[in-house]
Structure 1
Amino acid sequence: MKKEKIIFWAATILIFLFEGVMPALTSQTEMAKEGIRHLGYPEYFGVALVVFKVAGSIALVIPKIKGRVKEWVYAGFGFDFIFASISHWAVDGFGGQAIFPLVVFAILAVSYIYYHKLNRNQDYSAL
C-alpha cells in the first residue's frame, strides 16, 4: 500500500507541476503566446486552456475530490495530451514536440491506474 501511494503521488505531483504550476507561471509570456499562435490557435484558446489546466491540476491533488469529477479531470488531461501531440505533429512533423505530450500522457496513466488501485484498496479495507 505504501509503494502504491508513493507511485500515485509522484506521478500526480509531476502532472500538477507540468499542468498547473508551469502554465500558471508562464502562460502570459511572449514565448507561450507565440507557441499557441504557431499551432494556429487563437490567443483566447490559450487562456481558456490554462484556466482548465490549473483547475484540473488542483482537482487532482485534493484528496477530497473523488468520483466523477476526478474521472473528468483525468479524461480532460488525456484529451489535452493527445491533441497536443497531434497539433505539434501536424504543424512541425514528428519529433520531440509531438512525443513529449505522449510521455506526460504516460505519467497521467500511471497516476490514473494508481488512483484506482488506492481507491479499490480503501473500499475493501472499509468492509
Structure 2
Amino acid sequence: MKKDNVIYWVTTAIVALMMLFSAYNYFADPNMKAGFEAMGFPDFFRIELGTAKIIGALVLLIPGIPQLLKTGAYVGFVIVFVSAFITHLALGDAFSAAVMPLVFLAILLVSFRFQQKRLATVNE
C-alpha cells in the first residue's frame, strides 16, 4: 500500500507541476501567446486552457475532492496531451517535441491507475 501511495503521489505531482508550469507560461511568456496566434487560435483560448490546467492540477492535488471531479481532470488532461501531440505533428515540430506530451500522458495514466488501486483498497 505504501508503495502504491508513493507511486500515485509522485506521478500525480509530476503531472500537476507540469500543468502548472505550462499554465504559467501561457500567461507570462509572450512566445506562447505568439504561438497560439500563429496556430490561428483566439487569445481567449490560451487563457481558457491555462485556467483549466490550473484548476485540473489543483483538483488532482487536493485530497477530498469528489472522485467524479478527479476523473474529469484526468479525462481533460488526456485530451490536452493527445491534442498537444497532434498539434506538434501538424506543425512539423521536431519528433522530440511531439513525443513529450505522450511521455506526460504515460505518467498521467500511471497516476490514474494507482489512484484507482488506492480507491479499491479504501473501499474494501
TM tier, shorter chain?
Answer: over 0.9
Does the CA-based 8 Å contact 1:15-1:104 persist in structure 2? yes
The normalised TM-score by structure 2 is 0.92
Root mean square deviation, CA, Å: 1.3
The residue correspondences of 1:1-127 to structure 2 (distance < 5 A) are 1-20=1-20, 22-27=21-26, 28-93=28-93, 95-124=95-124
Instruction: Give identity over the alignment, percent.
Output: 32
**Bigger mean CA offset, 41-50 vs 110-119:** 41-50
Q: Report the 3-state secondary structure (helix = DSSP H, G, I; strand = E; otherwise coil) of the residue aligned with 2:123.
A: helix
* CA offset digits 1:74-124 (Å, max 9, x no partner): 000000100110011011256122111010000000000000000100111
* CA offset digits 1:24-52 (Å, max 9, x no partner): 43222112212322333222111100000
**Bigger mean CA offset, 29-38 vs 51-60:** 29-38
Structure 2: state its 5+ residue gaps: none
Q: Report the 3-state secondary structure (helix = DSSP H, G, I; strand = E; otherwise coil) of the residue aligned with 2:14.
A: helix
Question: How many correspondences in the alignment?
Answer: 123
Q: Report the 3-state secondary structure (helix = DSSP H, G, I; strand = E; otherwise coil) of the residue aligned with 1:40.
A: coil
2:54 maps to a residue whose letter is V
Does the CA-based 8 Å contact 2:16-2:60 persist in structure 1? yes
1:112 maps to a residue whose letter is F
Does the CA-based 8 Å contact 2:24-2:50 persist in structure 1? no
Q: Report the 3-state secondary structure (helix = DSSP H, G, I; strand = E; otherwise coil) of the residue aligned with 1:36.
A: helix
Structure 1: state its 5+ residue gaps: none
Q: Report the 3-state secondary structure (helix = DSSP H, G, I; strand = E; otherwise coil) of the residue aligned with 1:64.
A: coil
**Bigger mean CA offset, 41-50 vs 54-63:** 41-50
